[in-house]
Amino acid sequence: MKIGIVGLGYVGLPLAVAFAEAGHEVIGLDTDARKIEALNNGRSYIEDIPDSALAAQANRLRATSNHGELESCEAVIVCVPTPLTGSREPDLTYLTDSATALSRVLQPGQLVVLESTTYPGTTRERLQPILEESGMAAGRDFHLAFSPERIDPGRTDYSVRSTPKLVGGVTPESAARAQELYELVCDRVVVLSTPEAAELAKLLENIFRSVNIALVNELSQLCDRLGIDVWEVIEAADTKPFGFMRFDPGPGMGGHCLPVDPFYLAFKAREHDFYPEFIELAGKVNRAQPAYCVDRIARALNEAEKAVKGSRVLLLGVSYKAGVGDIRESPALEIVGLLRQLGAEVSFHDPFVPELSEFGLSSVGLEEGLRDSDLAAIVTAHPDIDYGAVVGAAPLTIDFRGVTREIEAPNLIRL
Ligand SMILES: NC(=O)c1ccc[n+]([C@@H]2O[C@H](COP(=O)([O-])OP(=O)(O)OC[C@H]3O[C@@H](n4cnc5c(N)ncnc54)[C@H](O)[C@@H]3O)[C@@H](O)[C@H]2O)c1
């Protein structure tokens, strides 16, 4: 098959590579000229896709900014961003812009699948009318479906192939066409009755995580007051073989999904005069966690008879999670801002993030950073860092990720 992928980011690029690896021709379309140039020169900008994977598919995978090239594709999959506006409402401009461009080149018989995470109703109420500006009707002249992306960047135990794929079509035939498409690259495709059910299933998955992370973040604050080790409690509960699923506390929730997606559903619910309390409460607790971590840093410095003002604080890891360089919505950004407001001299070390341009900071070497700090805070625990050595070298270490559980030292504090 010939498949078009619109939006070549964390979602679109791995999918494009998966289709190419399965022997299909892929046209990747993006509005970012730097990404197109990088891909066409065999350079990947996504950690999970090595340059060698692009090189191996150079004959089958090509990037372009020209929508006209999508005309010859049998299926087009849309993977553009779905962020929030400044007032925390869904920002569908990337989606509507890409749909408008697509409507101008849409061909009879083509299948269009939306993969971007969004509220129930988006495919039918927002995407379909724009595509129908082509003069063709969805379900009759072209096919339309929603299939949520479940990728977890950095994860190696599950792949595009081994993660079951959900699809919901605007008609049974659209669903069947989407099923056929994904069976080319996925071992299991689950067909739902509507795109709305598939849209909501994705939001349920993310809200489930957000709520459970909020629960353990709140527990970490309570444990601090009770003088109980939250990690010991979680590990103990995790020995139960049924009825418990482990989530770990941390410095707050980041990334393009968990801090954003639940509010897509809250928005839709409000349209129906319904106020989903779990979503708002989990968001509130998780958003307060970076400030709580700054409070813990201030208390740790105070114990060492130091003020935050003028203290040198080294953050270890600033991306939103281990093993990736994505800093979108990373709690580290808020921690840097709050520490600076208090007058701390902040530096950071992150092998995946060369700079934080909004703060004018570049990643410093680990040894040099530890030598020149009053306190090291483990914000994101990247692999291949010897945290025992960190505790040994830093005057004071505070661990927000529980990676020093095996270490006991007088200069070590944990969340
Ligand atoms: N990153 C994840 O882990 C993840 C997981 C599951 C679902 N999702 C969802 O998938 C969607 C995409 O997320 P992402 O992380 O890949 O985003 P991303 O920012 O990494 O990639 C999106 C790409 O779309 C391009 N783009 C923007 N407007 C465009 C347009 N009009 N036409 C063509 N290309 C355009 C951007 O240049 C960018 O390369 C979002 O809805 C997100 O919520 C993301």
Q: What is the pLDDT of residues 256-268, one digit of tens each?
A: 899 999 999 999 9
Give dist(CA 227, CA 209) in Å, integer: 26
Closest residue to atom 35 of ligand 1, CA basis:
7
- Under a CB-based contact definition with an 8 Å cutoff, are residues 324 and 251 in contact? no
Residues paired with 169 in a beta bridge? 145
Q: What is the pLDDT of residue 47?
A: 87
Alpha-carbon torsion (243, 248, 249, 252), positive or negative? negative
Query: Which is catalytic among the residues 73, 79, 223, 257?
Result: 257
Residue 99 beta carbon below 6 angstroms from any ligand 1 atom: no
Centroid of ligand 1 to alpha carbon of 68 (angstroms): 21
Question: What is the chain's mean pLDDT, rounded?
Answer: 97
pLDDT band at 117 (very low <50, low <70, confident <90, very high): very high
The ligand 1 atom nearest the CA atom of 82: 41
Which residue's C-alpha comes closest to atom 10 of ligand 1? 116
Alpha carbon of 84 to ligand 1 centroid (Å): 13
Q: What is the average pLDDT across 198-221?
A: 97
Looking at residue 201, what is its pLDDT? 98
Contact (Cβ atoms closer than 8 angstroms) between residue 282 and residue 207: yes
- The answer to whether 165 touches 18, Cβ cutoff 8 Å, is no
Query: What is the whole-number distance in angstroms between the Cα of residue 247 and the centre of ligand 1?
Result: 26
Q: CA–CA separation, 131 vs 392, rounded Å?
A: 60
Residue 155 has pLDDT above 90, yes or no: no
Q: What atom in ligand 1 is closest to the CA of residue 118?
A: 41
Q: What is the DSSP letter of 267?
A: H
| 122 Cβ inside 6 Å of ligand 1 | no
Instruction: Say how many C-beta atoms besides its own lie within 10 A of residue 371's C-beta.
Output: 13
Gap from CA of 190 to ligand 1 centroid (Å): 23
User: Please, which pLDDT band fits residue 148 given cuts at 50, 70 and 90?
Assistant: very high
Between helix 277-303 and helix 261-271 the angle, nearest 10°, is: 140
pLDDT of residue 244: 98
3-state secondary structure of 315: strand
The whole-angstrom distance between residue 109's C-alpha and the CA centroid of its chain comes to 33
Residues 6 or more apart whose CB falls under 8 angstroms from that of 134 comprise: 103, 104, 106, 142
Point out the ligand 1 atom lying closest to the alpha carbon of residue 153.
3
Query: Residue 106: which pLDDT band, with cuts at 50, 70 and 90?
Result: very high
Q: What is the pLDDT of residue 331?
A: 98
With CA atoms as reference, report the closest residue to 95 among 113, 75, 80, 109: 80
Ligand 1 atom closest to 10 (CA): 16
Asked if residues 358 and 337 have their Cβ atoms less than 8 Å apart, the reply is: no
Helix (H) or strand (E) holding 29: strand 25-29
153 pLDDT above the threshold of 90: no
CB of 147 closer than 6 A to ligand 1?
no
201-205, 309-313, 322-326: range with lowest mean pLDDT: 322-326
Nearest to 177 by CA among 160, 189, 163: 189
H helices of 183-276, in order, are 195-226, 230-237, 261-271
Residue nearest to atom 43 of ligand 1 (CA): 117
Beta strand 361-362 pairing with 355-356? antiparallel
- Compute, in angstroms, the gap from residue 373 CA to the centroid of ligand 1: 37
Q: Which of 255, 274, 256 is nearest to 265 (CA)?
A: 274
Strand 397-399 and strand 375-378: the pairing is parallel
Give the mean model confidence (pLDDT) for residues 330-358.
98
CB burial of 96-122 (b: ≥16 within 10 Å; e: otherwise) equals: eebbeebbebbeeebbbbbbbbbbbeb
Q: 250 Cβ partners below 8 Å, 6+ apart? A: 213, 217, 289, 331, 400, 401, 415
Q: Give the tokens for residue 261.
A: 């997606």
Q: Is 257 a catalytic site residue?
A: yes
Question: Ligand 1 within 6 A of 206 CB?
Answer: no
Distance CA 202, CA 241 (A): 26
